[in-house]
Structure 1
Amino acid sequence: MLKFSKLFFHSGIDADAFESRIRPDMEQRRYLRTCVRKIENHLKLKISLATKTVLGMDHSVTPRFRTQGSWSYDTCVVPATTPPQEMDWDFGVYLPVTVWEENGPPHAMAKAYFVLVEQLLEDLCDDEDWTLLPGKDTCIRIKVSPWAHIDVPLYAAPEGKFEKITESVALAKAGTYDSAGMESIDFTEAIETRQQWADLDCVVMATRKGEWKPSDPEVIANWFKDRVEEHGPQLRRVCRYLKAWRDHHWQQGGPTSVSIMIAVTQTFEPRVGRDDRALEDAARRLSRAFLGEIRELGIDDGAEDFNRLLEPDREAAAQRFGRLAAELRQSRESALHEKDAVLALLRKQFGGRLPMDSACVELDGDSDAIRSTPALQVAAPVIPSTKAG
């Protein structure tokens, strides 16, 4: 039997594995971080000035901003095919609202809020030579590069709830913090990431149609963070592998990133030092999960089905996950002299970003040790004579 975990992940300064090839590089991270900072700087003062004159509040308030989605989960991967695939960064705008009715802010404010922010971002796009992409109902999309876009969803929460967030940030700034290793975010954002916004329990999202919808992206983020703390970083890596695998097989459509992440996490079992085995296990379970609904009691009590695929597409996705699991197992059960065939099979599943490095395909030490251990001669037991009766 073989092991090929090093094809997917191995540590070291010169590590060249699938995991390092599918993660955004430093230049991409810096560029997108610069873009979201420009969005924040452009919107903060202008929204604050408009809260009385446009949104009808009794006094001005300052919006807050938060990175969410795959950049918050740290599961973002570089697309396999660009175009049509693009890297995306979700950057939420949170408006402290002074008037809160039974189900949210005043109804008319939703449309005014969406129109206001879209107009402000259109001005920024003209200045930066970006492209505003109209039509999204739940966010404003800005194409900032041929390979990336930024989605700006618009949220609101009661003004009083934000006071506790301010206190949390102040406490974090007053304490010590080791920012070593925070390669994708700076010190200020690291502080923001630490505090959980747990007091925002009345979050609603504005839509293009002028509606307020209950929506709290932090519920998923906090649930996933807890699971990573429980299982370790291998869980996050396996989610990345499967997202990159999805992009290789579906240039458009396919299972959503969040559905893959939730389905993997629900039944994840760590395999110490064996990302290949953990990936095989996850693919096998996903072949069953995507046949039906994907709900999680730890996320809004299981109210949402995260499997957005229609029935025929669910069956097709389940079959592909099943084929992946079967071919990972077939590769693992191959002989050492078949390593070139194993590499070819794995690269067919994951694409050319999987290293063509036969040195990373090795004998499975545990199973090989058992097979190579010679049988021991055991002395026959002494059986005393007995008498019947």
Structure 2
Amino acid sequence: MANLHEDFLFFNNALNIPSSKLTQLKTSEANIKRYIKSYLTEKKVPVPTLIRQGSFALGTIIRTKTDTCDIDFGVRFFPDPQFAAPTLQKYIRDALTKVSNSTLPKHKDKCIRLHYKAGYHIDVTIYVHTNFNEPIRLATKNGWLDSNPSGFKKWVEERGGKQAVQLKRLIRYIKAWASQQGKNMPKGVALTTLMANGFVPHFRDDLSLLYTLRNVYDNLEEDFCCEMPVVPFDDLLERMYEHRYSFLNKLESLINNLEKATHARLGNDKAKALIKGHFGKYFPK
């Protein structure tokens, strides 16, 4: 029986954002802060705090099979500047029109998106926090939604407990697998939630991944939904419902080959060849 633990650790490192791109991301982050501060100061609008969030903050960001990545930043106003949600979005969009090396910002429903020529995009979401006894509110084109971005990060880390670092590696593996599958895959936040809910720690990553994915599959086969564990508690798989059978079939194929790779009488080379097609070019040969 093959032991692919070290191969998965190699894979985890291979999924890291290259240092050159990471430097560009940090430069983009600094520029976004600068443009927002300058523009809002000119408009006499309170200057918000810019915080990292999503996979960047959680430590589960990956380079995709096309060597791209996406980053989430939160723009948080405290106290509430008393503007309508679309108005605050428009202020942030207008503040970012002069950002270099990117396309013009797109005003999406829940964020302002910037596409960069270097192969990444940044989503800037806008929040207001009225007071510490009220939930944070997320700006959308249609108004405000209750939200809790920092609460989600805390929830994931609590689910992992003492093995939170391993859970984050497993999340990166399944995100890389989803990237390899193409369209009609769950978003990163859904994959993260599924893996955290099904997490089975083990001293070997290959077996932890196998046992966790079995739980994920069984849970989804029983009820194809994934509730956001913090407000707004929405179903993160709602848009996936019509693609559920395709997704479950692909997931089952991955589980079956992980089972063979780790439990059949195969050498490491044959075991790696069996599952490399699921994970793509960054998985070792």
- Whether TM-score is above 0.5 comes out as yes
Partner residue of 1:102? none
Aligned 8 A contact 2:89 2:126 in 1:
yes
AA matched with 2:57: S
Confirm or deny that 1:246 pairs with 2:239. no
Note closer, same or farther for the CA distance 1:234–1:98 as it changes in structure 2 (3 Å cut): closer
Which of 154, 157, 161 is matched with 1:222 structurally?
Answer: 154
Paired with 2:102 and 2:63, the residues of 1 have a C-alpha distance of 20
Could you tell me the TM-score, scaled by structure 1's length? 0.68
Contact 2:36–2:47 under 8 Å retained in 1: no
* 8 Å contact kept, 2:4–2:206: yes
Residue 119 (structure 1) aligned with residue 94 (structure 2):
yes
Contact in 2 for aligned 1:139/1:152 (Cα 8 Å): yes
Letter in 2 for 1:91: F
Deviation, 1:146, is: 4.2
One-letter identity of the residue aligned with 1:326: N
Q: Partners of 1:26 and 1:239 in 2: how far apart?
A: 21
In the TM superposition, residue 98 of structure 1 has moved relative to its aligned partner by: 5.0
The residue matched to 2:128 in structure 1 has which SS?
strand
- 1:321 is matched by which residue type in structure 2? L
Measure the CA separation in 2 of the matches of 1:350 and 1:64.
37
Rounded Cα–Cα distance in structure 1 between residues aligned with 2:41 and 2:78: 10
In 1: Cα distance, 2:76 partner to 2:254 partner: 41
Deviation at 1:231, TM superposition (A): 2.7
Instruction: Please give the root-mean-square deviation of Cα atoms over the aligned residues, in Å.
Output: 2.1
* Count of aligned residue pairs for this structure pair: 283
Residue type of the alignment partner of 2:50 = F
Deviation at 1:268, TM superposition (A): 1.1
Q: CA deviation at 1:322?
A: 1.4
**1:256 to 2:249 alignment:** no
Question: SS at 1:232's partner residue?
Answer: helix
In the alignment, is the contact (CA less than 8 A) between 1:65 and 1:92 conserved in 2? Answer: yes
Looking at structure 1, the residues matched to 52 and 162 of structure 2 have their Cα atoms a distance apart, in angstroms, of: 23
Residues 308, 29 of structure 1: CA spacing in aligned structure 2 closer, same or farther, 3 A cutoff?
Answer: farther
C-alpha contact 1:203 1:216 (8 A) present in aligned 2: yes
Partner of 2:272: 343
Given that 1:290 and 1:317 are in contact with CA atoms closer than 8 Å, whether structure 2 keeps it comes out as no
Secondary structure (helix, strand or coil) at the match of 1:283 reads helix
State the identity %.
Answer: 24
Structure 1 residues 311, 111: closer, same or farther in 2, change over 3 A?
Answer: closer
In structure 1, the partner of 2:126 is 154
Question: Aligned partners of 1:151 and 1:98: how far apart in 2?
Answer: 21
AA of the residue aligned to 1:142: L
CA contact (8 A) 2:138 2:144 kept: yes
Distance in 1 (alpha carbons) for counterparts of 2:80 and 2:11? 49
Q: Give, in whole Å, the separation in 2 of the partners of 1:111 and 1:349.
A: 41
Tell me the residue number matched to 2:166.
234
1:265 to 196, 203, 219: 196
Deviation at 1:355, TM superposition (A): 0.8
1:87 equivalent among 56, 69, 78: 69
1:3 equivalent to 2:3? Answer yes
Q: What SS class does the counterpart of residue 129 from structure 1 fall into?
A: coil
CA distance in 1, matches of 2:59, 2:88: 29
Equivalent position of 2:217 in the other structure: 287
Counterpart in 2 of 1:308?
238
1:292-331 CA-to-partner distances (Å, cap 9, x unmatched) read 11125x523x832122343331121112111111111111
Residues 218 and 242 of structure 1: CA distance in aligned 2, closer, same or farther (over 3 Å): same
Which structure 2 residue ranges, 5 or more long, are not aligned? none
Which position in structure 2 is the counterpart of 1:367? none
Gaps of 5+ in 1: 10-16, 53-60, 100-104, 162-198, 357-389
Q: For residue 19 of structure 2, what is the aligned residue in structure 1?
A: 26
- The 8 Å contact of residues 290 and 307 in structure 1, kept in 2 or not, is answered as no
The residue correspondences of 1:5-84 to structure 2 (distance < 5 A) are 5-9=5-9, 17-51=10-44, 61-81=46-66
Instruction: Judge conservation of contact 1:293–1:306 (CA < 8 Å) in 2.
Output: yes
- Find the residue that maps to 1:290 and give its secondary structure: helix
Q: Work out which of the two has the higher radius of gyration on C-alpha atoms and give 1 or 2.
A: 1
Opposite residue 346 of structure 1, the aligned amino acid is: I
Judged with a 3 Å threshold, the aligned counterparts in structure 2 of structure 1 residues 43 and 327 are, in CA distance, closer, same or farther, namely same
What is the CA-CA distance between 1:135 and the residue it aligns to? 4.6
Deviations 1:185-226 (A, max 9, x none): xxxxxxxxxxxxxx47432122234x1222221221121122
| Distance change in 2, residues 1:286/1:254 (3 Å) | same
Distance (Å, rounded) in 2 between the aligned partners of 1:227 and 1:350:
25
Paired with 2:209 and 2:264, the residues of 1 have a C-alpha distance of 17
Q: Would you say the 8 A contact 1:254–1:309 is kept in 2?
A: no
Is this contact kept in 2: 1:62–1:96, CA < 8 A?
Answer: no
Partner deviation per Cα, 1:140-190 (whole Å, 9 max, x = no partner): 1011234101111111122xx4xxxxxxxxxxxxxxxxxxxxxxxxxxxxx
Q: Deviations over 1:242-292 (max 9, x none)?
A: 100110112x330111111111111212101x0000111122222233341
Contact 1:295 1:303 in 2 (8 A): yes
